[in-house]
Amino acid sequence: MASLLIYFSRDAKADWVAPGALGGRIVSSSAGPVSERKYRVIASDLRAAIARGEYPAKSRLPGENDLMQQYQVARMTARQALAQLINEGLAVARKGSGVYVREFRPVVRAGVGRLAGRGWGSGRSIWSADIDDRELLVDQLEVRRAEPPEHVRLLLDLSDEPEVKVIARSRRYVLDGKPVLLAVSYLPAKIAAGTMMEYQDAGPGGIYARLRELGHAPARFREDLRSRMPEPEEAERLELPPGTPVMDIVRTAYTADGQVVEVNEMTADASSYVFRYDFDA
């Protein structure tokens, strides 16, 4: 008789899992539809195999026919199992080719060190702390004078007069050929208008170095992070596979006397980042 193994589901009820004749697992359960349990077991097996390195990045996962034979399940169950991995961001579907393990070489975003004045103050981009020798391209770049959104107006402590403007710097960051971040920086026009901050290339050290030259050096930053699912336009611009979340990052830059000199709203491909905050106790 085949030995029996216990599979623990999220609701802490046990499913009995028996080895199948072709190496798969046959699932029966009294806690919900059997087909639902089967696709979760298959997805769990594939997830574990990916973690063990049996399916490295860019490798093809077993197809629906393979899973049907191995686990003795219907096509819909095999399809649901693969869809589960796609929705989790672990795999991507290529039309006419199959489902592949998603490549994940994360950007380690050191939230504290990257903003230190010793970096941008010496003319380096704040991105230099994140990417090492990887290829970074900034495209879809637009710099314009505009009326600020109301929440930005409040953060920058601007009056509600229509002639009060901001310099809005909008761009997309592409790393190793993959879009990873959308960003819009808002700067008070009374500070930034007519300076290099209105140029597409703000010069060595970026806008923080230019603010320092004008006597408005950032002395403190605050970042607020929130995870969510992307809007359709964001998913298109970031070239996101289905099921991939984004991370909203709002950075506020303060001078030593507490004046807000920049609000930067960013939308990051969450699957492309590790957010690291390293600081003393």
Of 188, 177, 139, 147, nearest to 272 by C-alpha is 177
Give the per-residue pLDDT at 130. 66
Of 191, 184, 169, nearest to 264 by C-alpha is 184
Cα-based distances in Å from 154 to 120, 189, 264: 27, 15, 14
Give the per-residue pLDDT at 246. 96
Q: What is the pTM of this model?
A: 0.68
- Give the long-range contacts of residues 92-99, CB within 8 A, separation 24 or more: 92/241, 93/241, 97/60, 98/60, 98/61, 98/63, 99/60, 99/61, 99/63
What residues have CB less than 8 Å from 233, skipping those under 6 apart? Answer: none
Cα-based distances in Å from 224 to 27, 244, 263, 264, 271: 44, 20, 11, 11, 18
Judge contact between 57 and 104, C-beta under 8 A.
Answer: yes
Kindly report, residue by residue over 120-175, the tens digit of the pLDDT: 566 666 666 666 678 888 998 999 999 999 999 999 999 988 889 999 999 999 98
Of 182, 185, 184, nearest to 269 by C-alpha is 182
Angle at the Cα of 62 from the Cα atoms of 64 and 235, rounded to 5 degrees: 80
Of 70, 75, 17, 12, nearest to 41 by C-alpha is 17
CB atoms within 10 A of CB 57: 12
Pick out the chain residues at pLDDT < 50: 1-24, 26, 28-31
